Homo-oligomer: A and B are copies of this chain.
Amino acid sequence: MKKTALIMAGGRGERFWPRSRKSCPKQFLSLTGDGKTMIQLTVERILPLVDMEDIYVVTNRDYRELVHEQLPELPEENILCESVGRNTAPCIGLGAVHMAKKYEDAIMYVLPSDHLIKYNAIFLRTLDDAAQVAEEQGNLVTIGITPDYPETGYGYIRFLPREGKGRAFRVDRFVEKPDLETAKSYLATEQYLWNSGMFIWRLSTILSELEKNLPETSAGLQRIAAAIGTDGEQRVLEREYEAFSSESIDYGVMEKAEHIYTLPGSFGWNDVGSWLAVEKIRPTNEFGNVVEGNAVTVDTVRCIIQGGEKLIAAVGLEDMIIVDTPDALLVCDKSDAGSIKKVLENLKICNRNEYL
* Pair A298/B329 contact, Cβ less than 8 Å: no
A353 CB within 8 Å of chain B: no
The docked-state distance in angstroms from the alpha carbon of A299 to that of B336 is 9
- Mark contacts of A305-338 with chain B using CB atoms, 8 A cut-off: 1 yes-contact digit, 0 otherwise: 0010011111111101010101111111101110
Contact present for B343 and A328 (CB under 8 Å): no
Taking a contact as CB atoms under 8 Å apart, the answer to whether A339 and B298 are in contact is yes
| Beta-carbon contact of A328 and B346 below 8 Å | no
List 18 interface pairs A-B (beta carbons < 8 Å), by A numbering.
A17-B313, A18-B311, A298-B339, A299-B342, A307-B329, A310-B328, A310-B329, A312-B329, A313-B330, A313-B331, A315-B331, A315-B332, A315-B339, A316-B332, A316-B335, A316-B339, A317-B331, A322-B329
Contact: B329 with A315, CB < 8 Å? no
**In this assembly, does A296 line the interface, its C-beta being within 8 Å of a C-beta of chain B?**
yes
A18 touches B313 (CB 8 A): yes
Among B299, B311, B355, the residue within 8 A (CB) of A339 is B299
Q: Does A207 contact B (CB under 8 A)?
A: no
Residue of B nearest to A346 (CB): B296
Residue among A298, A318, A346 having the largest count of chain B Cβ atoms under 10 Å: A298
Interface residue? A347 (CB, 8 A): yes
User: How many angstroms from the CA of A298 to the CA of B333 in the assembled complex?
Assistant: 11
Within 8 A of B (CB), among A262-317: 296, 298-299, 307, 310-317
Nearest Cβ distance between residue A54 and chain B, in whole angstroms? 42
Judge whether A313 and B333 touch: CB under 8 Å: no
Interface of A is mostly: mixed
B333 and A316: CB pair below 8 A?
A: yes
In whole angstroms, how far apart are the Cα atoms of A346 and B312 in the complex? 13
Known contacts A311-B355, A355-B311: does B339 contact A329 (CB below 8 Å)?
no
**Is B315's CB under 8 angstroms from A328's CB?**
no
Cα(A343)–Cα(B320), bound, Å: 18
Q: What are the residues of chain B within 8 A of A296 when measuring CB–CB?
A: 343, 346-347
Given A313-B18, A336-B315, A355-B311: A298 and B342 interface contact (C-beta under 8 Å) = yes
CA distance A313 to B320 in the complex (A): 13
Determine if A316 and B328 form an interchain contact, defined as CB atoms under 8 angstroms apart. Answer: no
Q: Please indicate the chain B residues that have their CB under 8 angstroms from the CB of A29 in the complex.
A: none
Query: A330 contacts which chain B residues (CB < 8 A)?
Result: 313, 315
Please state if B332 and A310 are interface contacts (CB–CB under 8 Å): no
A195 to B307 CA separation, bound complex (whole angstroms): 43
A340 at the interface (CB under 8 A from B): yes
Assembled-state Cα–Cα distance A335/B333 (Å): 16
B342–A328 touching, CB < 8 Å? no
B residues in contact with A307, CB < 8 Å: 329
Shortest CB distance A24–B (Å): 16
Return A335 CB to nearest CB of chain B, in Å: 6
Give the docked Cα–Cα distance between A331 and B337 (Å). 17
Flag if B331 contacts A331 (CB, 8 Å). yes
> Which residue on chain B has the smallest CB distance to residue A311?
B328
Between A296, A310, A331, the greatest number of chain B beta carbons within 10 A of the residue's beta carbon is seen for A331
> Which B-chain residue is minimally distant from A303 (CB atoms)?
B331
CB A325 to nearest CB in B, in angstroms, measures: 9
